[in-house]
Homo-oligomer: A and B are copies of this chain.
Amino acid sequence: MAPPKAPDSTRRSDRSRRAIYDAALALVGETGYARTTIEGIAARAGVGKQTIYRWWPSKAAVLMEAFLDLAARQSAEAAEAAGGEAGGTKAAAAGAMDAAGTGIPDTGDLAADLKLVLRATVDELNDPAAAAPTRALTAEGIVDPALGAQFVEKLLDPQIQLYVTRLRAAQDAGEVRADIDPRTALELLIAPLTHRWLLRTLPLTHAYADEIVDYTLRGLSPRA
């Protein structure tokens, strides 16, 4: 007897969606944003291009969604690697770079919490599978303001908000000065990693992430 139709069709849909995401990320990583086309994605995914047009209005839209899906999967993997038994805290730390926004841990030790999150960010940026598509999409966003705005709104701003929330909690706890603007302060934490990764000035390591946290929290000037 044939299985009921609906679940099978859902499975087929999920398979197609996954194939389209994978094809989109592979193509943009290999040939760049400009040369990636809906036709190319469809051919590589083994679907008709009408399937893509039915689900997404544009190339930018399918790429952005493929990218958000990648970020979510990276976070889930990082959370798993951090060890299921540790549960909430480590999973949440890994999730800091997840657009879904599971939050930055708050153990009461701001430096430790930030180091955990920035080390996870280093690992994600150094993941070769994600590097090429992330670079291609970031580069395109730099020269295409509309795509860049989507990138910021859908991917970056939700992450930024997690840092604002954690720094506000640290202010409430007396760990961060009250006269600091968290929205500005967080850029001292995330911008150096992005800068080093995008421009490849020097290797991006856990030790570097730790130094950035220490320097940001304690400052460069000697304590009076």
Contact = CB atoms under 8 A, between A and B. Distances in A.
A16 to B, nearest CB: 28
Interface stretch (A6-14, A51-59, A98-106, A133-141): A133-141
Given A142-B138, A143-B135, A211-B181, A216 B201 contact: no
Contacts of A158: none
A188 B184 contact: no
Contact of A221 (B34, B202, B218): B218
This protein's copies in its complex: 2
Interface stretch (A38-46, A65-73, A82-90, A189-197): A189-197
A199 B159 CA distance: 14
A128 interface: no
Contact of A220 (B136, B140, B177, B196): B177
A176 interface: yes
B135 A142 contact: yes
Interface string A130-165: 000001101111110100110110001100100000
A184 B199 contact: no
A173 B211 CA distance: 22
A141 B208 CA distance: 22
Contacts of A198: 142, 198
Contacts of A152: 199-201
Contacts of A208: 184
